[in-house]
Every structure is written in structure tokens, then in C-alpha cells.
Amino acid sequence: MHIPDGYLDLWSSLVTYAVAGVYFIASTKLGKLRLSPSEVSEATALAALVFVAQMLNWPIPGGTSLHFVGGALAGIILGPFKGSLVIAIVLLVQCLVFHDGGITALGANVINMAIIDVWAGYLVYRLAYKALSPRLGDAKSGFVGGLIGGWLGLTLAGIACGVEIGLSPSFPYGVFITVPIMGGWHAVLGVVEGVITGLVVYYLKLRHPEVIKS
């Protein structure tokens, strides 16, 4: 899902950078990115976990690559704004140090993985958790919410990636090829990411419920 250089045209790069920039500027102005000392430790550990998970890449036809993201988990643990910050920092380091994702495509990668994945996963988790917790309890409803949120967040991020590269004149395939392939493959991998997210949330709800702020 890390879009490399050369896949997006100039205008696509500028627009995606602008959208990502406005999002984080607004988040800062609203005071949503301030981390407490305890949250700094959690964010650091979470960033390290996400970094390792995202380095596992599988190339796929008609798109870029397939890999775990961890956006939903970041949003569930830290909340969507701070979760977005963690994922964005991971993407920035991967781009500048490991060239995993192009500099010209960094805005698009941030939108897909640090905004869409984080927010979709978080919102679905909250809805599922609130609906199920009276009947299933904290841990089980957390697992179901994390599973659905992890799956949907990754799937929507993959679809967004397919739309971006499919609409770009620099990419040889259109959206009727890129969206089904990117969305379909990420929907498959999303099941695995959903299960992992759900299990982590389940464990934290049982052993360390104070860790989950959302």
C-alpha cells in the first residue's frame, strides 16, 4: 500500500499533501495531538510495533504492495488523532530512511494509512463496542470491535490507494483495475489484521484496560 514515486502525477501529489497537511494543522490547533508522559511511552512502543508490521510487504499485480498497517489498533489505543500522528511518523521514517513509499506520494500514503485506516477502524470499533458490551462484556466486545475495525480500516485504505493511483495519469491502469485489485487483496489481508487487532484489544481489556483510552 506504500505508493512509490512515479505513480502519482504532480497535481495528485500536491492535493494529497494539502489534505494531509490541513488535517494535522487542524488537529494541532484543536489541541488533539498533545501526549501525556504515559502516552509518549505507549505511542513509542506502538510505533515500533507498527513499523515492524508494515515492513512486511507482498507485491501484488495492478497496484503497489500488500502489508499490515496497524491503523485501527493505533486509533483504538490512543484515539484517532494521536493514532494518526503515530502512523504518520512511522510512514515518514519509512519514506525518508528506507525509501518505503515515495516522497512525492507521502501525502497520499498518510491519507490512506494514517487517516482513513485509523478513523475507520476507530469509529467501527466504537460502534461495535457500544452495541455489544452490554451483552458480551468489555473483552469480548472489544475483540469483535477490533476485528471488524481492523478489517474495514485496512480494506478502505486499500480502496483509497486504488482510487488514487487509478486516477493518476502517471499510472498505466485505471480505477476499474486498481480499485478491485487493491480493495480485494486488502479485504483478504484485512481478515488477518482484524483478528490480530481484536486479539490485542481483547488481551488489553482483560489485563491492562487502562491502556485503551478510547
Which one has a higher pLDDT value, 39 or 91? 91
Confidence of residue 54 (pLDDT cuts 50, 70, 90): confident
Residues of the chain with pLDDT > 90: what percent?
73
pTM: 0.93
For the stretch 134-160, pLDDT in tens is 999 899 999 999 999 999 999 999 999
How many residues does the structure list for the chain?
214
For the stretch 66-81, pLDDT in tens is 778 999 999 999 999 9
What residue type is assigned to position 41 of the chain? S
